[in-house]
């Protein structure tokens, strides 16, 4: 079987995958991106590069992806539908592929009213499901979005999408996930899991439809720095469920790293108890240095790619 990326290979071979997230800066230096990539190099299979997350202007996800490739980290380039029409999307993704990027995450994107340019015009020429479908056709049928033939060197991305098990209406979450998989999504990263009971009910519905057999599901986990961060997610972010018990646990903890301990417990539970999950996506918001410790203490190391390289050297 020909693998589209190292992440694709890890998942296809049955390894419990680990991805993380790198947020590009609000300036033109790549030093922070490079530092975080060097930190993650030995503990993840790939790292998401966010695309102007929360509609705030940041260094290009594609440029940042090129920088982390140089550090030995495989990027997952995010592409939002908010800021580009279909011409710009295709041009940017052809460019990303030419620079060595092989994983693509398709998103609609946060509305611009939440960012630092609230009066900007949104685009949404395509939605995320259409983007997935058209990128699959670009890869598998060698056709541009308009139907014109790509005569050579079509971009062969490993295509991903996102899912939120915690937004309402709950039943619709699996319907939308199925649409994305039908369109061509091969891997799925979920919203941060804090309510394990609801996530397990979501996965029961996923398994009932056989969706876990058609795409690789990676559960999102987030180490929280403080109870205030937990309270903010609980009250200030839509489509997020943070139980009161977790807020209280963090509030009463003597250990400043209690959030890391919680995250490790969640990963172990997901890996051992929740069938149909093929990996975790660690979103350490402004706490990237916690990822290596989490990966080690949760029993996620060594990563298979590093193991294969070590065996080839031997």
For 177-214, the pLDDT digits (tens) are 999 999 999 999 999 999 999 999 999 999 999 999 99
Query: Average pLDDT, stretch 164-189?
Result: 96
Query: What Å distances lie between residue 13 and 82, 145, 160, 207, 301, CA to CA?
Result: 34, 31, 17, 20, 16
- Token digits of residue 85: 């029409």
6-313: CATH architecture: Alpha-Beta Barrel (3.20)
Q: How many beta carbons lie within 10 A of that of residue 42, not counting itself?
A: 16
Number of neighbours of residue 31 by Cβ within 10 angstroms = 10
In this predicted model, what pLDDT tens digit does every residue of 270-296 receive, in sequence order? 999 999 999 999 999 889 999 999 999
CA-only gyration radius of the chain, Å:
19
Tokens 């003597």: give the residue. Answer: 254
Q: What is the pLDDT of residues 3-13, one digit of tens each?
A: 999 999 999 99
Question: Burial of 119 by CB count in 10 Å (0-12 exposed, 13-18 middle, 19+ buried)?
Answer: exposed
Residue 306 has pLDDT above 70, yes or no: no
pLDDT at 305: 72
């Amino acid at each position: 079987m020909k693998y589209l990326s190292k992440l694709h290979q890890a998942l296809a071979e049955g390894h419990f995958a680990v991805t993380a997230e790198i947020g590009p800066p609000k300036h033109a230096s790549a030093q922070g991106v490079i530092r975080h990539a060097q930190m993650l190099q030995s503990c993840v299979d790939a790292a998401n590069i966010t695309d102007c997350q929360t509609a705030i202007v940041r260094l290009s996800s594609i440029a940042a992806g090129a920088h982390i490739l140089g550090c030995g980290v495989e990027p997952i380039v995010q592409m939002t539908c908010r800021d580009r029409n279909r011409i710009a999307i295709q041009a940017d993704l052809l460019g990303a592929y030419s620079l060595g990027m092989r994983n693509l995450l398709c998103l609609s994107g946060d509305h611009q009213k939440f960012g630092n340019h609230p009066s900007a015009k949104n685009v949404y020429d395509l939605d995320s499901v259409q983007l997935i479908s058209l990128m699959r056709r670009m890869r598998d049928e060698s056709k541009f979005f308009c139907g014109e033939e790509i005569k050579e060197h079509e971009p062969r991305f490993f295509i991903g999408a996102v899912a939120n098990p915690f937004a309402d209406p709950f039943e619709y979450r699996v319907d939308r996930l199925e649409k994305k998989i039908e369109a061509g999504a091969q891997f799925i990263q979920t919203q941060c899991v804090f309510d394990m009971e609801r996530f397990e009910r979501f996965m029961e519905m996923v398994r009932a439809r056989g969706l876990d057999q058609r795409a690789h599901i990676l559960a999102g986990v987030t180490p929280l720095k403080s109870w205030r961060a937990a309270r903010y997610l609980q009250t200030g972010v839509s489509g997020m469920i943070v139980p009161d018990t977790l807020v209280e646990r963090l509030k009463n903890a003597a250990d400043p790293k209690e959030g890391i301990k919680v995250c490790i417990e969640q990963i172990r539970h997901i890996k051992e108890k929740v069938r149909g999950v093929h990996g975790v996506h660690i979103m350490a918001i402004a706490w990237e240095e916690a990822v290596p410790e989490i990966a080690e203490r949760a029993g996620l190391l060594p990563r298979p790619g590093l193991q294969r390289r070590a065996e080839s050297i031997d």
